[in-house]
């Protein structure tokens, strides 16, 4: 069995930056550090951060000392004000690319535009973006959302996307939106790193007969990579750790593709690779069942 590892697998620069920021704050003596929600969407990394006194907080109202870190997905302006009012030290780990999207939304809202966001309902990045729209933001998650769009001035509509959306999905939705608002402004706010990963997994799908996608089950970009692989007709498993793999999963497959989401550390990818190698050797053994 041959294993092909994606060149783009692993941490994106935004995730690396977020982890570096909170680790530096911890090393500089600012512990305990509480992240306002999960810093990134990877349970294994969050467990490692716990060892450095960096904790996920579900309710910052109970925090009276220490440091608060803003998650990589960003937050609403109202949330930022609330954090500042607590008087605690703040580490802003918002991904700069997400911050750029927030800037587009903020500017065009100020200029009188209504903002249409193509993204996932309930995703923290989307929640943050909607917070900049002053009540004039509309989320398109499913096709039914298009039917609920109100009558808006056609020359005052601005379209952006959650940074980890698939390019194909964004183009499809944008075309439908422009049928309603032909003069709408469109900003391509997809993260280049995400787009490169999506392109690579589609290329890999032409070569492999099994795809293993490693990353948090709640990671939007990892979920979309797995979806793209399945849509390409490849048997696909989305896993968080090597323990989720079994011999029956890979039995009968000749070429396995291994890739990972933007919040998956290299050490986790290596562990999955090692497990695949071990299972390949077991299957090749005459006593393999």
Residues classed as catalytic: 125
How far is residue 49's CA from residue 243's CA, in Å, rounded to a whole number?
21
How many other CB atoms sit within 10 Å of the CB of residue 269?
22
CA-nearest of 195, 279, 196, 267 to 237 is 279
How many other CB atoms sit within 10 Å of the CB of residue 78?
9
For residue 62, the 8-state DSSP code is G
Phi and psi angles of residue 4, each rounded to the nearest 5 degrees, phi first:
-110, 125
Yes or no: say if 124 and 76 are a contact pair by the CB < 8 Å rule: no
How far is residue 270's CA from residue 267's CA, in Å, rounded to a whole number?
5
Tokens for 39, please give them: 């810093």
Yes or no: say if 117 and 126 are a contact pair by the CB < 8 Å rule: yes
Contacts of 24 (CB under 8 A, 6+ apart): none
Q: What is the dihedral of CA 226, 229, 139, 129, to 10 degrees?
A: 60
How far is residue 156's CA from residue 139's CA, in Å, rounded to a whole number?
16
How far is residue 102's CA from residue 160's CA, in Å, rounded to a whole number?
10
CA-nearest of 289, 198, 194, 207 to 3 is 207
How many other CB atoms sit within 10 Å of the CB of residue 289?
8
């Amino acid at each position: 069995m041959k294993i092909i590892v994606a060149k783009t697998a692993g941490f994106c620069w935004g995730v690396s930056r977020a982890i570096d920021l909170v680790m530096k704050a911890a090393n500089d003596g600012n512990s305990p550090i509480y992240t306002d929600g999960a810093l990134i969407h990877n349970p294994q990394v969050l467990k490692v951060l716990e060892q450095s006194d960096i904790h996920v907080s579900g309710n910052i109202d109970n925090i009276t000392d220490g440091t608060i870190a803003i998650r990589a997905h960003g937050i609403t302006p109202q949330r930022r004000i609330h954090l500042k009012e607590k008087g605690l030290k703040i580490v802003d780990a918002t991904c700069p690319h997400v911050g750029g999207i927030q800037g587009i939304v903020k500017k065009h809202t100020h200029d009188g535009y209504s903002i249409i966001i193509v993204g996932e309902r309930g995703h923290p990045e989307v929640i943050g973006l909607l917070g900049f729209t002053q009540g004039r933001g509309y989320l398109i998650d499913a096709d039914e959302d298009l039917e609920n769009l109100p009558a808006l001035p056609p020359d005052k509509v601005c379209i952006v996307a959650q940074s980890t959306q698939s390019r194909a999905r964004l183009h499809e939705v944008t075309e439908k939106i422009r049928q309603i608002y032909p003069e709408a402004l469109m900003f391509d706010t997809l993260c280049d790193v995400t787009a490169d990963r999506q392109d690579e997994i589609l290329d890999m799908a032409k070569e492999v007969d099994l795809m293993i996608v490693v990353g948090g089950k709640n990671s939007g970009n990892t979920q979309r990579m797995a979806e793209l692989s399945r849509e390409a007709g490849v048997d696909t498993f989305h896993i968080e750790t090597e323990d989720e793999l079994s011999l029956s999963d890979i039995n009968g497959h000749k070429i396995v593709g291994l890739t990972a989401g933007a919040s998956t550390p290299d050490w986790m990818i290596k562990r999955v690779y090692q497990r695949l190698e071990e299972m390949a050797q077991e299957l090749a053994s005459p006593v393999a069942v």
